[in-house]
């Protein structure tokens, strides 16, 4: 079991009801899971909790055998660095770094820089010949490919993707998602994907819907 979310609750200050209310979810290595839900339903909140980016109020989340409630901020950061990678709707590339430097960035932070693997990722993502370019010289689809490659270059056990195709047109989004699913399969990582798109969600092996703080 890579990720075990057990009876988790989360309420934001000033809110009159919890955004998450007794959520239970399990994810094994190699699983692909899509989470859908209305805007403001807590999808991104759940994703952030799963990646140890935020704290929950009740229940427990166990990631890679470690109970998150027992970790301080340093411990959570250490666990994220070795286990989790993230891809967001906003590409969040380093504008002062080239494509190649962006691809290697997180892997170097994690102490897992593998030039052969990064070369393979670049080729698989159709980025050969673009390594010396800066993000501003890339199309939106190319920038998202770099963001996916950067996340997977460190060989994470869990890839979290929050609306990763939200800034792309339908055809480009479908192509980028296919590349991401292929690379996730290559690494054996689990994928936890948040999306508003039924077509995108249908590409995952499992699909859940978040409504009024509960999964269906």
C-alpha span between 55 and 49 (Å, rounded)? 6
Find, among 33, 26, 21, the residue nearest to 59 by Cα.
21
Contact (CB, 8 A) for 5 and 50: yes
C-alpha span between 32 and 144 (Å, rounded)? 19
Domain ranges for the chain, please list them. Answer: 3-215
Each residue's pLDDT tens digit, 83-92: 999 998 888 9
Strand, coil or helix: what is 51?
coil
| This prediction's pTM | 0.93
CATH number (1.20.120.1810, 1.10.3720.10, 3.40.50.300, 3.20.20.10) of 3-215 reads 3.40.50.300
Residues 144-163 have a mean pLDDT of 94
pLDDT at 102: 96
Residues 119-125 have a mean pLDDT of 92
pLDDT at 36: 96
- pLDDT surpasses 90 at 10: yes
C-alpha span between 209 and 43 (Å, rounded)? 9
Residue 129's pLDDT band, with cuts at 50, 70 and 90, is very high
- pLDDT surpasses 90 at 115: yes
Phi and psi torsions of 14, nearest 5°: 85, -10
Residues 143-149 have a mean pLDDT of 94
pLDDT at 75: 96
Each residue's pLDDT tens digit, 37-82: 998 899 999 999 999 999 999 999 999 999 999 999 999 999 998 8
Each residue's pLDDT tens digit, 96-113: 999 999 999 999 988 888
Handedness of CA 111, 162, 6, 77 (dihedral sign): positive
**pLDDT, the chain, mean:** 94
């Amino acid at each position: 079991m890579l990720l075990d979310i057990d009876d988790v609750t989360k309420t934001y200050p000033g809110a009159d009801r919890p955004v998450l209310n007794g959520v239970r979810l399990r994810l094994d290595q190699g699983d692909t899971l899509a989470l859908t839900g209305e805007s403001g339903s807590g999808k991104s909140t759940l994703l952030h909790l799963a990646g140890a980016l935020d704290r929950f109020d009740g229940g427990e989340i166990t990631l890679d055998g470690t109970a998150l409630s027992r970790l301080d901020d340093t411990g959570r950061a250490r666990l994220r660095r070795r286990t989790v990678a993230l891809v967001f709707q906003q590409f969040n590339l380093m504008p002062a770094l080239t494509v190649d430097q962006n691809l290697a960035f997180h892997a170097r932070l994690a102490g897992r820089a593998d030039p052969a693997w990064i070369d393979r990722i670049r080729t698989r993502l159709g980025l050969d010949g673009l390594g010396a370019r800066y993000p501003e010289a890339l199309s939106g689809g190319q920038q998202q490919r770099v963001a996916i490659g950067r996340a997977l270059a460190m060989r994470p056990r869990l890839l979290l993707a929050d609306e990763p195709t939200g800034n792309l047109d339908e055809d480009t989004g479908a192509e980028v998602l296919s590349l991401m699913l292929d690379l996730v399969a290559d690494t054996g990582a689990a994928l936890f994907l948040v999306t508003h798109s039924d077509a995108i969600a249908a590409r995952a092996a499992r699909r859940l819907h978040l409504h009024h703080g509960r999964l269906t």
